[in-house]
Amino acid sequence: MIKRVDHIAIAVNSADDALSVFDSVFGLKADHIEELPDQGVKAATIRVGDTHIEFIEPTDPEGGVAKFIEKKGEGFHHICVEVDDIDAELKSLAARGVELIDKQARKGLAGRIGFLHPRATKGVLIELIQKV
């Protein structure tokens, strides 16, 4: 079951630059910055109410986020929704024929995550997260 929007992710060339823009425009500060080498990104989050905006900066020029920016430029990348039981959700989606990028959950920034294919959801990349 979907509980809430956990974060909205924006692909950027520089997380530090994005943080300084959102600080100067909205006065919002980073609450978490982390390098995720296995995903080829540096991620920085800012809290907005009970959700977050997450900036993802490619650190691997061959990675998915680097290719996304190359093709589409900086901007909206994905919505992440929190679920109670990610294994059950992924299994249920697969059983209903929903196209998945991750058939098995994997480790993300703040929990176990899995992505649906944007073809399954009107061109919007959706991430599921089960918090740890």
* Between 9 and 65, CB nearer to Zn ion: 9
Tell me the three state secondary structure of residue 15. Answer: helix
* Between 9 and 69, CB nearer to Zn ion: 9
9 in contact with Zn ion (CB under 5 A): yes
Q: Which of 57, 82, 89, 127 binds Zn ion (CB under 5 A)?
A: 127
- HEC assignment per residue over 24-86: HHHCCCEEEEEEEHHHCEEEEEEEECCEEEEEEEECCCCCHHHHHHHHHCCEEEEEEEEECCH
Q: Which of 65, 80, 110, 125 binds Zn ion (CB under 5 A)?
A: 80
Judged by the rule CB under 5 A, the positions of this chain that interact with Zn ion are 9, 80, 127
